[in-house]
Amino acid sequence: MKKKVLPVIIVIAFIILIGIIYAGQLFYEKFSYSKDRADLSAYFGIENSEDVPVIYGNEQIEIYAKNTDGKYYLDFDSVQTYLNDRFYYGQNDGILVYTTPTAIITAAVDASSWTSTDGTSNDEGYKIAYLDGETLYVALDYVQKYTDFEYQSYSEPDRIQVTASWDEEQTTATINKETALRIRGGVKSEILEDLEKGETVVVLEKMENWSKVKSGDAFIGYVENKRLSDETTAVPAHEAVYVEPEYTSISKDYKINVGFHAIGGTAGNDTLQSVVANTKSLNTIAPTWISISDNSGNIRSYASADYVTQAHALGLEVWAAVDNFNGPEDVSTEEVLTHASSRANLISQIMQQVDTYGFDGINLDFELIGESYAQSYIEFIRELSVSCRAKGIVFSIDNYVPMNFNNHYDLEEQGIVADYVLIMGYDEHYAGSEEAGSVASIDYVENGIVDAIAMVDASKVLNAIPFYTRIWKTSGGEVSSQAVDMTVANEYIQSHSINMTWDEETCQYYGEFTDEDGALVQIWLEDAKSIEAKLGVMSSNNIAGVGEWELGFETSDVWDVIEAYVNG
């Protein structure tokens, strides 16, 4: 009997042993640390040998730098997005431009040298920028000459860490025992690199057992919490690589009150005395003198030395208005602004006018700027600001009420380089509008001001008010309108016996009637009361002052409310 039992026991023991071994293997496979190494090219998304991954701050971004002749380059769009949007690529001229408060610095594509309008120049010893197909790449070392950021490069694989912000707190920790940085949390995850005891990592996210960290050589992965010690949270120390020069601005110690004087020709200068005769508190006048006359940046000017002398005698500063819409129809604003030579010529001719006639300022009124050449427009503004700053004259810029469709006018940059940013707080409804409505309802004005001062310091913002009203007619589904001055509007209301009632929603008197042809006639009236409501919004937002379009269109009583605002 014992002989029969013994083999059975042996078999059972063998089965148990096999089970123990198998269980041990399962346990080992589940809880042992994987030694598999990650494919770093796949981890960094490297598809070809030219791709250099970029870790920006504490994350890898979806762009790749290039290592060309031992120098790192980033594509131009990424330079603007991540580092410095003040760089300008003059595609028509094949140049890279950087404009400071006092100079315009230019480097030709594929060149190693640059020149500046302040007379300086230098050869950097490497290509500052080059084209790969249609994409412009810019050397990070050159960007760093005008931008406060740092970068470090690492090998195997080639990659760079870019740091451009030091404002936020970050948590660091010390590795207390040699360990592995893994792609994901978990002992079975592949290893990115080995971390030595004493290394410092940035803790990005802490979980129950694992933490997401960035290593000292810019790998982002996971380590066990038990391997982290001495955690510290602080704002990183930083010594600026580049200190941006100050964009000095002229700021008047009084509320600006600038009236726009429409000059249709040299004879229009003779109307100065008449258009200011009934004004009160007016301290600045902007005659519409200068327009672009051709695609080379030449100008047509109606400026008058006698006008300037008279204005100064009346206590008025003269800000000559420069526009892009009163010249010949075949003038292309895009053509002028997208070439360095025509921009420079235009600025030179404007400055010659300043020297000849003694303007106190320039008011830039460029309208209908296309998004396709918006960066050229902003570059022109920077370049014009350099010349205005050098001559010590006021530089103001006219803008539509801020909307999504005109974001490319870049009010934030305008507010840095210009002295005043004027919002044209009218044309809410305009000639060609599909529906009748107010020229400037109170919400439209207020929203325009609030949106503007979100981008530009209130001490630099002016808001222009309309001295005109539109008489609207709707007939057969067709809408048309006529812009008239305040006097004509009142005469029209009286001659047609229109019952006008105050509308709290628009803060204007509103009236309507049906004419003899069956057309619906509607008027949202601009008068002293509506202007006073707008001035109240301007006062409550503490902006720099008021503009009026246009002098001569007003009734005399509006000056009482404007004077109260200016002296308020």
Tens digit of pLDDT for each residue in 406-435?
999 999 999 999 999 999 999 999 999 999
Q: What's the Cα-to-Cα distance from 131 to each of 17, 36, 68, 341, 346, rounded to whole Å? A: 69, 40, 12, 22, 29
Q: State in words which class domain 256-566 has.
A: alpha beta
Q: Which residues of 61-77 are buried (b: 16+ CB within 10 A; e: fewer)?
A: eebbbbbbeebbbbbbe
Residue type, 115: T
On average, the pLDDT of the chain sits at 95
Residue 219 CB-half CA count within 13 A? 25
What pLDDT score was predicted for residue 8?
Answer: 61
Torsion angle, alpha carbons of 30, 32, 36, 41, to 10? 70
Q: Bin 192: left if φ > 0, else alpha if -120 < ψ < 50, else beta.
A: alpha
Provide mean pLDDT across the span 448-471.
Answer: 98
> How would residue 3 be classed by pLDDT, with cut points 50, 70 and 90?
low
- Total-model pTM: 0.93
Pick the CATH number of 167-234 from 2.60.120.860, 2.30.30.40, 3.40.190.10, 2.60.120.10: 2.30.30.40
What pLDDT score was predicted for residue 28?
Answer: 47
More confident residue, 406 or 7: 406
Other beta carbons within 10 angstroms of residue 554's beta carbon come to: 26
401-404 contacts: CB < 8 A, separation 24 or more? 401/425, 401/428, 401/444, 401/447, 401/448, 401/451, 402/448, 402/451, 402/452, 402/455
Express each pLDDT in 104-162 by its tens digit. Answer: 999 999 999 999 999 999 999 999 999 999 999 999 999 999 999 999 999 999 999 99
pLDDT beyond 80 at 46: yes
Domain boundaries, the chain: 43-162, 167-234, 256-566
